[in-house]
Homo-oligomer: A and B are copies of this chain.
Amino acid sequence: MNLQNTPIGVFDSGMGGLTVLRALRAALPNESFIYLGDTARLPYGTKSADTVKQYAVQMARILIEKRIKLLVIACNTATTAALSHLQAMLPDTPVIGVINPGAQAAVAASKNQRIAVIATETTIASQAYQQAILAMCPQAKITARTCGLLVALAEEGMADNAITHAAFDHYLAGFNEEDTLLLGCTHFPVFESYLKKRLPTSVNVVDSALATALAVKNVLHEKHLVNSDTTSEVRYLVTDSIQRFQAVGALFLGAPLDKQTIALIDI
């Protein structure tokens, strides 16, 4: 088998990264994917950077053993904690995270260079988005906010109910000047349609999923790694309950998950 015809590996702490997989599949319908969700140890967003880095290395090794041509870290927390480490560890495999593409999309969308970022505790504390945006646009004014509750809300399927509304009243308070809201967590695209209803039309809601998919597409072309096979498939590996992954995962993938394609692995 040629390297071109091996799958793209995607990993996340659990189900949130399925929003990235969804964008990848839409952008690259001829590619095959292996998605690995570390559901036994989710969430990563409240764990220390060292712990997340160690988990990310383990996840990457599992996918590399399955023979993949490119690795996507579909998790903001894992990208901040482990991207440069995994790039050094895997010199022969392109490794793409969600932070730079997300930051780039936010900078491109903003007219007044005032960008609000909402993400998990570890992602915000790492300053990764703040640094990536400033590297591309030094005059940007960034307001970053930890939104711990939104991951749980997303996993409960509460994308637009009274609790969601109260949570965004809380988390968006004081955001007035910003013309761009960057969703810095792969769980958050499930709130996108509610946010577009809620926010003035002058505010751009940006997430990393689409931008990451386009970055992956570019790298496949640059490195001559585009699939030349006619079949493509998606397989899922999880570290805990297949049933819960199937049920909650569908919220993030935006489509039903076939149980036959999901396998449990030991870590």
Instruction: Give A contacts to B, CB under 8 Å.
Output: 39-42, 46-48, 51, 148-149, 151-153, 155-156, 158, 161-163, 165-167, 169-170, 240-241, 244
Cα of A50 to Cα of B162 in the assembled complex, Å:
34
**Residue with the highest number of chain B CB atoms closer than 10 Å, among A163, A169, A241:** A163
Cα of A163 to Cα of B169 in the assembled complex, Å:
9
| Residues of chain B lying within 8 A (CB to CB) of residue A240 | 47-48, 51
B148 touches A152 (CB 8 A): yes
Cα of A158 to Cα of B162 in the assembled complex, Å:
16
Cα of A88 to Cα of B240 in the assembled complex, Å:
25
| Residues of chain B lying within 8 A (CB to CB) of residue A156 | 148-149
Given contacts A51-B241, A149-B149, A165-B166, 7 further A-B contacts (CB under 8 A): A47-B241, A149-B163, A151-B152, A152-B152, A162-B166, A163-B166, A163-B167
Cα of A39 to Cα of B42 in the assembled complex, Å:
11
| Residues of chain B lying within 8 A (CB to CB) of residue A163 | 149, 163, 166-167, 170
| Residues of chain B lying within 8 A (CB to CB) of residue A148 | 152, 155-156
A48 touches B241 (CB 8 A): yes
| Residues of chain B lying within 8 A (CB to CB) of residue A42 | 46
| Residues of chain B lying within 8 A (CB to CB) of residue A241 | 47-48, 51
| Residues of chain B lying within 8 A (CB to CB) of residue A169 | 162
Cα of A148 to Cα of B40 in the assembled complex, Å:
16
Across the interface, name the chain B residue whose C-beta is closest to A161.
Answer: B170
* Min distance, Cβ A67 to any Cβ of chain B, angstroms: 27
Across the interface, name the chain B residue whose C-beta is closest to A46.
Answer: B244
Across the interface, name the chain B residue whose C-beta is closest to A47.
Answer: B240
Can you offer 6 A-B residue contacts whose CB atoms are under 8 A? A40-B51, A149-B158, A151-B152, A152-B152, A152-B153, A163-B170
* Min distance, Cβ A248 to any Cβ of chain B, angstroms: 9
| Residues of chain B lying within 8 A (CB to CB) of residue A41 | 40-41
